[in-house]
Structure 1
Amino acid sequence: MGGAVSAGEDNDELIDNLKEAQYIRTDLVEQAFRAIDRADYYLEEFRDSAYKDLAWRHGNIHLSAPCIYSEVMEALELQPGLSFLNLGSGTGYLSTMVGLILGPFGVNHGVELHADVIEYAYQKLDFFIKTSDSFDRFEFCEPSFVAGNCLEIAPQSQQYDRVYCGAGVQREHEDYMKNLLKVGGILVLPLEEKLTKITRTGYNSWEIKKIIAVSFAPLVLPKHRENGKIRAVPLPTMFEVRSLQDLSRIAIRQTLKKTLSGTWPLPQRGPRRSSTRLKRRQEHLDSALLVNRYAFMSRLIPGPMDDNSNQSGTDEEEDEDCHGVGECEVGEVEDESRRREGSVLLMEAPANLLRENILRLPLPEPLKMYLLYYREK
């Protein structure tokens, strides 16, 4: 399915074409699409086809056509802080775009039938986090994927604000899908050859809207049984109690964005111009330089994977911690006393700069004290 939109020379031109054809209609969806290069989710030998409006499949790995993903993103009406469930999460391309909109207080879960595809999705997610400047531009809700058949989720499982199914659904499974949705939530799925938007308006009331004609492979029916019962797929935990360190990291990143750059500019693109790929790449690099001050400082703030409770870890553990927050991008830190002061990762040179900027921020004094001086015992 696809082919409704002209092929692009690169990701930006593909998005230009999707906008011109009215598949992308809102700023949030446009920003999410521009932030992630579709070609990064292709195998290297197939990257030349990444900017065509066509679906792509290689073995168990599958990507829907860009026009389908854009219609799905628009129909989901995503907002920060919502919970999202992706049934047939595949490469994680859609889940990662969704995570850019949900923000740090959202929930982003996926269920995928094939374990090798989940491994592929985590590889692509890791590549995005470590290499993309978009990771610093957005507050990201990182997706979590579990292996299993999406028709084997326990009936008493948690419900979500937004649900998408990436495989063809027959009428006999429509009610099953609806039960995964909270009241007020939106379900988008291919239902009998039509991409369909279902809004749950009450406990037993629904609004149904047909979007476009589509052709999806049907859902794979469950095969495995234990004592005649369906094997339940455990979903990830919906809510986790955030540490004070994690909340502080989120607060200071958001404040740094506003303090250093005013209103933080999200990725956008003006009118299409005829230009070479080399010029587009240079424009991208120039844009990256504009955010370097923020990216450099915000990556000194530890992420949720950092653990200050273990101050005597091994060299291997410290190296993993370094990669977890992107510290290695600004320089190797050899000594524990140089690397940490309380909950803020520091190096000798930027320590004073970071301290001065923290003191200028409009944060409560206890939070400043925590960021600057606190060390877990």
Structure 2
Amino acid sequence: MGGAVSAGEDNDDLIDNLKEAYYIRTDLVERAFRAIDRADYYLDEYRDNAYKDLAWRHGNIHLSAPCIYSEVMEALELHPGLSFLNLGSGTGYLSTMVGLILGPFGVNHGIELHADVIDYAYQKLDSFIKTSDSFDKFEFCEPSFVVGNCLEIPPESRHYDRVYCGAGVQKEHEEYMKNLLKVGGILVMPLEEKLTKIIRTGVNSWETKKIISVSFAPLVLPKHSPKSKAKMAPLPKYEVRTLQELARICIRHTLRVTPDEGDGQSRGRGSSFSVGRGLAAAGLHKYGPRFKRRRVHRRHCNALMLATRQAVASSGVAPTSLDSNNNQEGRAEDEEAAGERQARRPMRGSRQAGRGRLVEEEETVEEEVEERDEEEEKETGELLRPQPAVNLLRERILGLPLPEPLKMYLLFYREK
């Protein structure tokens, strides 16, 4: 399933396309998508396909199409502090994006049928934490994954604010999925070939909305003989954060929301640690399509300016100056010239031909400006590839008068 938007050259380009197609509609979802490069969750030999709006599968590893993940993220209506359960958590790509929004006081759990996929997901999660600058732009709710069949969750397990199922749900399992929700919670799942959003409005009441048509592989049914007892798949345990972890979260948040150098204004502390304020708001778009558009805009302006100069020169009319009262000087001369212009009206036919030549000249000028811009880009490497922004939070932590082990703890033991 996928192919609803055109392929992008990079992750930002893909997100731009999803926004233009109205799959991504809110700022929070856009930030989460931009913060995590989809290609990082592909095997190296398949990275060239990462920015296509298509699903990808290799063995047990599977990623849904970007347009599907966009609809899921929007339908879940995420905000900080919620509890989230991902049924069929796969590579952890979706769970990691969700964790950027939930913040440090949310709950982010996943259950996956295949142990090798769990290993792959933890490998990608570890790489994100240790190497991605996006980790410092958000307060992160780290996901926890367990191996098991999502149809064998013990009935006494906790309920969640948000639940997503990444496999096709048979009609007979609809009630089972609904009962994983808290009252007021939202469940998103493929049900009868439709991506479906279900809100639990009461103990025994739900609201259902069909979103888009989808095609998912069905849930794998549990395998056990009639005589054997059903095997339960316990979910990750909910662990209260230690005082040490809370102190770390507080320090990083304080450093993030302090005034940036030079502006002298506080960024505000707000109730959410995860929405990306202060330093977190900087650089979320990264660099890419924004600079491409700037190049195209500059090229268009240059071509228009040169074409205008040619038009003025060919008409023989010089621009008139303004006096102190913003009145044009030489108005009388202009009135005298009006009679001459009346006499020149029969020449319009020749002017139309001249306009055709002017359009051709405009196109030639634009091509020349584009070639010059491309040459400039090759020589300087600055227009489309500016220097990456400095990780200000990391710089501030490293500048603190603290022992190195404590600095490394504040940086989540990261080595870059």
Change (3 A) 1:279 1:154: farther
| 1:39-118 equivalences in 2 (<5 Å) | 39-118=39-118
Change (3 A) 1:81 1:279: farther
CA shift digits 1:199-221 (9 cap, x unpaired): 00000010000000000000000
Name the SS for the 2:388 alignment partner.
helix
Name the SS for the 1:4 alignment partner.
coil
The separation in 2 between residues aligned to 1:237 and 1:300, in whole angstroms, is 37
CA shift digits 1:301-328 (9 cap, x unpaired): 9xxxxxxxxxxxxxxxx8xx87982354
Change (3 A) 1:141 1:23: same
The separation in 2 between residues aligned to 1:298 and 1:225, in whole angstroms, is 57
Give the deviation of 1:50 after TM superposition. Answer: 0.2
Name the SS for the 2:385 alignment partner.
helix
Give the deviation of 1:253 after TM superposition. Answer: 1.0
CA shift digits 1:216-268 (9 cap, x unpaired): 00000000359532211011112x22222211111111111111434231513
The separation in 2 between residues aligned to 1:51 and 1:183, in whole angstroms, is 37
* 1:297 equivalent in alignment to 2:396: yes
Equivalent residue number for residue 254 of structure 2: 255
* 1:35 equivalent in alignment to 2:138: no
Specify the code of the residue in structure 1 equivalent to 2:210: K
Name the SS for the 1:121 alignment partner.
helix
| 1:152-171 equivalences in 2 (<5 Å) | 152-171=152-171
Give the deviation of 1:155 after TM superposition. Answer: 1.2
The separation in 1 between residues aligned to 2:106 and 2:409, in whole angstroms, is 25
Kindly indicate whether the alpha-carbon contact (under 8 Å) linking 1:149 and 1:233 is maintained by their aligned counterparts in 2. Answer: yes
The separation in 1 between residues aligned to 2:291 and 2:212, in whole angstroms, is 27
Specify the code of the residue in structure 1 equivalent to 2:202: G
Equivalent residue number for residue 209 of structure 1: 209
Give the deviation of 1:15 after TM superposition. Answer: 0.1
Kindly indicate whether the alpha-carbon contact (under 8 Å) linking 1:5 and 1:18 is maintained by their aligned counterparts in 2. Answer: yes
The separation in 2 between residues aligned to 1:119 and 1:224, in whole angstroms, is 25
Equivalent residue number for residue 285 of structure 2: 268
* 1:282 equivalent in alignment to 2:281: no
CA shift digits 1:264-303 (9 cap, x unpaired): 31513685735799769834x522x1xx3312334799xx
The separation in 2 between residues aligned to 1:145 and 1:209, in whole angstroms, is 29
Kindly indicate whether the alpha-carbon contact (under 8 Å) linking 1:90 and 1:117 is maintained by their aligned counterparts in 2. Answer: yes
TM-score, normalising length: structure 2: 0.69
Name the SS for the 2:258 alignment partner.
helix
Give the deviation of 1:198 after TM superposition. Answer: 0.1
Percent identity over the alignment?
72
Between the two proteins, the alignment pairs up a number of residues equal to: 308
TM-score, normalising length: structure 1: 0.76
Kindly indicate whether the alpha-carbon contact (under 8 Å) linking 1:102 and 1:140 is maintained by their aligned counterparts in 2. Answer: yes
CA shift digits 1:20-76 (9 cap, x unpaired): 000000000000000000000000000000000000000000000000000000000
CA shift digits 1:120-165 (9 cap, x unpaired): 0000001101100000110000000000110000111110000000
| 1:1-377 equivalences in 2 (<5 Å) | 1-224=1-224, 227-238=227-238, 240-261=239-260, 262=267, 263-264=278-279, 265=281, 267-268=284-285, 273=292, 282-283=385-386, 285-287=387-389, 289=390, 292-298=391-397, 325-326=412-413, 328-329=415-416
The separation in 1 between residues aligned to 2:31 and 2:383, in whole angstroms, is 17
Specify the code of the residue in structure 1 equivalent to 2:292: R
Q: Which has the higher contact order (CA 8 A, sep 6+)?
A: 2
Unaligned runs of 5+ in 1: 302-317, 330-377
Equivalent residue number for residue 358 of structure 1: none
Q: CA RMSD in A?
A: 2.6
Change (3 A) 1:234 1:188: same
Equivalent residue number for residue 339 of structure 2: none
The separation in 2 between residues aligned to 1:327 and 1:90, in whole angstroms, is 25
